Amino acid sequence: MDDIELLLKRAAEMLRQESPRMDRQELVAFVRTFLHRREAFLDINRRHGSPLYIIDEQALLDRAGQFGDAFRREIPGIRLFYALKSNHHPAIASRLVGTGMGLDVSSGVELTTALAIADAMIIFSGPGKLPSELALAVAHADRVTVLIDSFGELARLEQAAGDAGVIIQAGVRLTIDERGLWRKFGIPLADLERFLTEAAVCRHVAVKGLQFHSSWNMNPDNQIAFITRVGAALQALPKKKRARISFVDIGGGYWPMAGEWLQAAGTPEGRLRQMIAPETAATGVSYRYVSTPIEIFARRLGETVKSELLSRVDCTIYTEPGRWLCHDAMHILLTVIDKKGDDLVITDGATNAIGWERFETDYFPVINLSRPDEQERPGLVLGSLCTPHDVWGYGYYGSDIQPGDVLLIPAQGAYTYSLRQNFIKPLPETVVMPSVRPDGS
Ligand SMILES: Cc1ncc(COP(=O)(O)O)c(C=O)c1O
C-alpha cells in the first residue's frame, strides 16, 4: 500500500469515529449555576460596564480547598505551588497564597509578580533563564528555589549566587521525553548522577530536589509512568547522592474535572473534515472528553509516590497545578453592540482578551444574562476585531439576543488572561466578584 492509500484508510477510520457528545442535561445544569447568579453579574455590569474579566473568588477558593484536601489526604506534607503562567492576575495568585500555597514561576516577570505577594514561597523553573533572572532569584534566596534546567544553568547559577555571596536552594528538572520537542526541558534521567556530581562542588547552589512536569493529563497514567522511572533512577544512585534529595516536584498538568469541551472542529474527526470541507465549521453539537476527578489523581499519585519515591528517599512532594485551580475562577462579560441579522451579533469585547482563536475549536456556552433561557439557540456571536476568527460562539443560551444584551462566557480562567494580546481593541478591566460567606454576607 502506498502512502496516500494508507493515509486515506486512516482518514476514513478517523472520520467514521465520533467523539463523545456532550450531555445536554449536564450542560444546562452548568448554565443554570450562572443564571442563578445573574443579578450579581448584571450588577457588576451596571457598575463597571463591559467588556470585563470577572474573578470568581468563590470558585477559586472552592477549587483550592478541593485540590488541597485531596492531595493532603493522600500525600501528607505535600506542598502546593500555583503555576502563575496559567493566570498571572495578582488577585488570583494572592488569594491562593492566602490558602497556604506557594507560587511556581517561569520568568523574571513572573518572579517579580510573585515577589510582590507577601509570604509567597517561590519555585522558579523554565529553560534558558537569563543572567538577570538568575540574579533576581539569587537576590531573594530566602524565598526562591531555582529548578535548574541544564548543566550550563548550574554553572551560571553558581556564578550568580557566588557574586551575591549567598547559597541558593535548588533542584534539577528532568526531561519526561528524551526525544522530540520536550527535550528542551531539563536534563535526561541518565545524566542525573553526573549532574549531582557537578552540583556537589558548587559552593553556592544547594541542589536538593528533582522536578518534572507533563501537560494535559486527563488521567494520572503519564505522571505515574515517569514517577516510576524517577524511582528507579533514585534506586540506582549511590546512597550518599540519594540522601541529598529532600524534595521531588511532580509538576502540574491536571485537567479540570469538567473535561475538555470541544466544538466539532476541535475533535480529531472534525479537524480532518474541516480540512477537506471548510464550510462544515459549526454543527450545533458539542463534544466532551472526560477527565479524572482530582481525588482519583491524588489517590493514584499518592500510591505511586509512596511505593516508588518515599520507600527510597525521605523527601517532601511538591506539585505545581495551574489550569485546574484557575479554570473556573474567571469569566468574561460582554455586551452586544450590533445585530447584523437574525443569526449574527457583534460584541463590544473581542477575543484579543483571551489571546487565541479558542472558540473555533473549544466549546463554552455563551449565556445571555439579559434574556435568560435554558435553551441554546443558534446564531453567530462574534467579537469586534477585524478578523473573521474573532468567534465567541455559534449559539447562545437565551430567549433572544439584541443590542445592549449582556453576555457571559464562563470558565475562562486558564491560559486566556495570561495569553491576552494587545491587538486592535483595548484589554478589559478586571473586577473581583467576592465570595459569599456562609452567613450570606
Ligand atoms: C513547569 C510547569 N509547571 C506547571 C505547569 C502548569 O500546568 P497546568 O496549568 O496544566 O497545571 C506548567 C505549564 O505549562 C509548567 O510548564
Question: Residue 441 above 60 pLDDT?
Answer: no
Tally Cβ neighbours within 10 Å of residue 241: 18
Q: Can you give the C-alpha Rg of the chain in angstroms? A: 24
Tens-place pLDDT, residues 344-389: 999 999 999 999 999 999 999 999 999 999 999 999 999 999 999 9
Residue 89 C-alpha from the chain's centroid: 13
Contact 369, 329 (CB under 8 A): no
Tens-place pLDDT, residues 45-71: 999 999 999 999 999 999 999 999 999
Cα(154) to centroid(ligand 1), Å: 22
Tens-place pLDDT, residues 182-212: 999 999 999 999 999 999 999 999 999 999 9
CATH number (2.40.37.10, 3.20.20.70, 3.40.50.1980, 2.60.120.260) of 11-54+329-433 reads 2.40.37.10
Tens-place pLDDT, residues 279-320: 666 667 899 999 999 999 999 999 999 999 999 999 999 999
Which pTM does this prediction carry? 0.96
pLDDT category at 278 given cuts 50, 70, 90 is: confident
String of DSSP letters for 45-88:
HHHH-SSEEEEEHHHHHHHHHHHHHHHHHHSTT-EEEEEGGG--
Residue 340 CA to residue 349 CA, distance in Å, equals 16
CATH number (1.10.3720.10, 3.30.2010.10, 3.20.20.10, 3.40.190.120) of 57-257+292-327 reads 3.20.20.10
* pLDDT at site 224: 98
Tell me the domain boundaries of the chain.
Answer: 11-54+329-433, 57-257+292-327
Cα(213) to centroid(ligand 1), Å: 7
Regarding the beta carbon of 253 and ligand 1, being less than 6 Å apart is answered yes
Cα(322) to centroid(ligand 1), Å: 6
Tens-place pLDDT, residues 103-158: 999 999 999 999 999 989 999 999 999 999 999 999 999 999 999 999 999 999 99
Regarding the beta carbon of 79 and ligand 1, being less than 6 Å apart is answered no
Average pLDDT of the residues of the chain: 95
String of DSSP letters for 211-280:
E-----BSSSHHHHHHHHHHHHHHHHS-HHHHHT--EEE----BPPTT-EEEEGGGSHHHHHHHHH-GGG
Regarding the beta carbon of 320 and ligand 1, being less than 6 Å apart is answered yes
Tens-place pLDDT, residues 144-163: 999 999 999 999 999 999 99
* pLDDT at site 437: 58
Residue in 71, 107, 211, 215 to alter for ligand 1 test, most ligand atoms within 8 A of Cβ: 215
Regarding the beta carbon of 83 and ligand 1, being less than 6 Å apart is answered yes
